[in-house]
Structure 1
Amino acid sequence: MTETNRMPEAEIADAVKGNWVDTYAPARARPYLRLSRADRPIGTWLLLLPCWWGLLLAMLHTGQASWFDLWIAIGCAIGSFLMRGAGCTWNDITDRDIDGSVERTANRPIPSGQVSVRQALVWMALQSFLSLLILLTFNGVAIFLGFLAIIPVGVYPFAKRFTWWPQAFLGLAFNWGALLAWTAHTGSLDWPAVVLYVAGIAWTLFYDTIYAHQDAEDDALIGVKSTARLFGDATSSWLRYFWAATVVLLGVAVILAAIGGSVLALVVALGGPWAMGWHLAWQQRTFDADDNDTLLRLFRSNRDAGLIPLPFFAIALLL
């Protein structure tokens, strides 16, 4: 893609220091990879982990595993990278005027002039097409759910303009993979997947409220809404509610998925939500709304929090 009126590159405020995009990627590709947040992999993890939760609980539910499940896990990983990139590109297109007014986002490729809106649309379409090719390898129900995911993804960037709860809309989009991966394995949508989906939304409210506090002052100046602004000094209490809801709902999803199977497997699988809860509780105790470095560190630590249930679920499958 040919870039016109390109401005000099500037450091992205919340990019991982020494990331592969800044270090190894060709200069012409960097603005597009930054549009996709390839220099900030935490978003891909947060999109992927509910997929893997859903797949492992579906396998626990059916008591079956096949080589195709390995492809579901790999396909979800590749698809999460691509769809997170496409979603972030769409977000930056719709937020280009807002981003230019916020210190943390002013250097993003579109507001800084490194990528035009037309170029960003083409880049988004390419990522979406590649994601579609992966989706089409799944069963019909999963494909249908994949197309439905366009709705929350499309609406999310506008949520901050009309509701104080845009983090809830992000949760609707970011945890869709729990439904999709479950159905890719089972061929149908069942209650354990729905409860798992709601648990993921509670988790998103937790971590993205922490993240949103980085921009609370700028958001107030330009009139952008968020749960961080809504909760204010009461945020720590709300975070406690969100992590408790995450743990309880994830536990219910495990019980619904594992009921009728081995009692030992159920007990081991329930260790996942329990252990994750300790990590989320630590984040809530460490939360400091006035320290952006701590806020970013806590937000990124949710990759580790979301990984915690996976070995418990995997071991339960073997019992």
Structure 2
Amino acid sequence: MLDRLNLYLDLIRWNRPAGWLLLLWPTLAALWVASGGFPGWHLLAVFTLGTILMRSAGCCINDVADREFDKHVKRTAQRPITSGKVGVKEALAVGAVLALAAFGLVLTTNAVTIAWSFAALAVTLAYPYAKRFVSMPQAVLGVAFSFGIPMAFAATQGEIPPLAWGMLLGNLFWVLAYDTEYAMVDRDDDLKIGMKTSAITLGRWDVPAITAFYVIYLAVWAALLAPLMPSAGRWLMWAGLAVALGQVVWHVWLIKDRSREGCFKAFRLNHWLGLSVFVGVAVSSALA
């Protein structure tokens, strides 16, 4: 049983928390914005645990969908499903249990949030297959990884205002930035097997495009959120964005040579960028 549990933990990338942190920080930032400050322990627990559970369920779905492709990629060849250590039905069952647990958390919120949770699930299910048909599937992932933003507004305000969709759009560009870095790691393997990724589509424009994606993300969030922050604490939000921008410069430096190591390191460190933005928003909101 212990060996099986370890396989399941490997399946959901439990030892790589950067994945769910990338979802968590923008979701929590939206929760703070929608609440005008601390959202309360209930919603904080629902969205933190829900983010971890849904990211874990997404890993199960993604690995089932990509099991034939993953055999030909160095980085993914030894994943539990690809290596045959976990069966397809077994992985889907694990994913279903995790998704149902997340849905149980959603049921403690309100009808609007429950309704939108089905849309969030649909995007999660669609992403693994977008890589076969869409030239930049990272945009689909951007929607999936940003859906916690409108969900946070729905749970807090009982509706999804234009602000939430604007934040989702801005966050989508951040996902495009870091997941293109991730795709650059596997570009050679993906070309051989015919996988579509933004790194392949952008070609030699990959580094300039990633830089632009980062800047658009920070600019959109700054434009949307700065007017909402209390004047006494607005400088704290700008400080958080400035720290994030400094990290953008570092990431561009890491990927400029397009080495596997540099691109993967830049991707893995993105959760610190998200944390910087969240802390700036949360601390600024606290001074309202």
> Which category of TM-score, normalised to the shorter sequence, fits these structures?
over 0.9
Q: Which amino acid aligns with 1:143?
A: I
Cα distance in 2 between the residues matched to 1:277 and 1:192: 22
The total of aligned residue pairs comes to 287
Q: TM-score, normalised by structure 2?
A: 0.94
Cα distance in 1 between the residues matched to 2:58 and 2:281: 29
1:122 lines up with 2:93 in the alignment? yes
1:271 lines up with 2:228 in the alignment? no
Cα distance in 2 between the residues matched to 1:250 and 1:101: 38
Cα distance in 2 between the residues matched to 1:293 and 1:89: 26
CA displacement 1:49-98 (0-9 Å, x = unmatched): 111010111122xxx656xx222122211111110111110011111111
1:287 lines up with 2:255 in the alignment? yes
**Correspondence for 2:61:** 90
- Contact 1:46–1:302 (Cα < 8 Å) also in 2: yes
1:57 lines up with 2:33 in the alignment? yes
**Correspondence for 1:185:** 156
1:255 lines up with 2:223 in the alignment? no
Q: Give the match's secondary structure for 1:28.
A: helix
1:199 lines up with 2:170 in the alignment? yes
Tell me which protein shows more helix as a share of its residues.
2
Unaligned stretches of 5+ in structure 2?
none
Q: TM-score, normalised by structure 1?
A: 0.85
Q: Give the match's secondary structure for 1:77.
A: helix
| Superposed displacement of residue 256, structure 1 | 5.5
| Cα pair distance change 1:76/1:289, threshold 3 Å | farther
1:125-164 equivalences under 5 Å are 125-164=96-135
| Superposed displacement of residue 289, structure 1 | 5.0
Cα distance in 1 between the residues matched to 2:161 and 2:171: 16
1:79 lines up with 2:50 in the alignment? yes
Q: Which amino acid aligns with 2:254?
A: T
- Contact 1:213–1:289 (Cα < 8 Å) also in 2: no
| Superposed displacement of residue 153, structure 1 | 0.6
Unaligned stretches of 5+ in structure 1?
2-25
| Superposed displacement of residue 47, structure 1 | 1.3
Cα distance in 2 between the residues matched to 1:289 and 1:171: 25
Cα distance in 1 between the residues matched to 2:151 and 2:228: 15
1:32 lines up with 2:8 in the alignment? yes
| Cα pair distance change 1:281/1:232, threshold 3 Å | same
Cα distance in 1 between the residues matched to 2:283 and 2:182: 32
Cα distance in 2 between the residues matched to 1:137 and 1:257: 28
| Superposed displacement of residue 138, structure 1 | 1.0
